[in-house]
Amino acid sequence: MSLENKNAVLYGAGGSIGGGVAREFAARGARVFLTGRHEPALTKLAEEINGTGGQADVAVVDALDETAVDDHAASVVAEAGSLDISLNLVTRGDIQGIPLVEMSVEDYVGPITTGITTNFITARAAARHMIAQGSGVILALDSGSAHGSPMMGATGSIDAALDTYIRNLAVEIGPHGVRALGIWVAGIPETFTPEKLAAVDNRLPATPEMIENVLAALTEARMTKRSPRLAEVAATLAFLASDDAMGITATFVNVTSMYPS
């Protein structure tokens, strides 16, 4: 499961998942290009990776800005020689806990617009270079909530849109040697904080006790009665990005331990 000589661009790399994946990719030999809108978090992560023998570069890139994304992708290819892995981890701004009949248009449409726009822009930028070089992997991430997600606002709708987009993209770019696929992830314990929980559902008190209650409920809902850890999610993405997974495309791997909703 080596990523030696691979150049990986991570969008939204400054968050908890981004940090875990970047460290995993770098440990397996990839050069990671960390992008996001908040430079201090990216720089701190890059310094950690470079300090442990890895290779990490930082660029402030707004994934909603197609010119900025295109220019950055071109700069990666110009500097490193190729763009081999593209992973979008950009936060969508999902709002949950409000009945759909009481939700505002902005709260419902906003995450859908942000999620599909950033994934389209970043995947398109990567695919153009990957098609030219005849290889590459485009990775996406959502919660696998496309088939019924009550009280989760637009989460199910954007998951459905992203699932479909990635599968259709895979069909188009597959003949050029490029893969497109993703993983379903929901409720990684190490990424939960009271502040993040309250941002998604402001009915919940932002307390450590609420975090424990939510994690307990998630554990009970999982088929394995345990929550996948960040290291497991990162390792799965590393496998899917590697040449060991060359036969896998146009699909999503379930890393939730839940039956897809």
pLDDT tens for 199-220 read 777 666 667 788 888 889 999 9
Reported confidence tier of residue 228, pLDDT bands at 50, 70, 90: very high
pLDDT at position 260: 81
Lookup: tokens for 261: 């909703």
Lowest model confidence (mean pLDDT) among 119-133, 204-218, 240-254:
204-218
pLDDT at position 252: 98
CA atoms of 68 and 185, how far apart (whole Å)? 28
| Residue 223 predicted with pLDDT over 70 | yes
227: Cβ–Cβ under 8 A, 6 or more apart, which residues? 187, 188, 189, 215, 218, 219, 257
Reported confidence tier of residue 101, pLDDT bands at 50, 70, 90: very high
Domains of the chain: 7-188+229-254 (3.40.50.720)
| Residue 12 predicted with pLDDT over 70 | yes
CA atoms of 233 and 76, how far apart (whole Å)? 25
Mean confidence (pLDDT) of the chain: 94
Q: Cα 100–201–214 angle (5° rounding)?
A: 115
Q: Which whole-number Å values give the CA distances from 36 to 9, 69, 152, in the listed order?
A: 11, 11, 26
Lookup: tokens for 166: 């990635």
| Residue 194 predicted with pLDDT over 70 | no
Q: Is there a contact between 191 and 218 (Cβ–Cβ < 8 Å)?
A: no
Reported confidence tier of residue 227, pLDDT bands at 50, 70, 90: very high
Reported confidence tier of residue 232, pLDDT bands at 50, 70, 90: very high
CA atoms of 207 and 210, how far apart (whole Å)? 5
Helix (H) / strand (E) element for 137: namely strand 136-142
**Per-residue model confidence as pLDDT tens digits over 47-59:** 999 999 999 999 9
Percent of the chain having pLDDT more than 90?
Answer: 86
**Per-residue model confidence as pLDDT tens digits over 13-72:** 999 999 999 999 999 999 999 999 999 999 999 999 999 999 999 999 999 999 999 999
Residue range 124-148: mean pLDDT, rounded: 97
What single letter denotes the amino acid at residue 95? I
Question: Hey, is 253 helix, strand or coil?
Answer: strand
Residue range 81-86: mean pLDDT, rounded: 98
Number of other CB atoms surrounding residue 40 within 10 Å: 9
CA atoms of 127 and 129, how far apart (whole Å)? 5
Alpha helices in 137-249 (DSSP H): 155-173, 194-200, 208-221, 230-241
Q: What is the pTM of this model?
A: 0.95
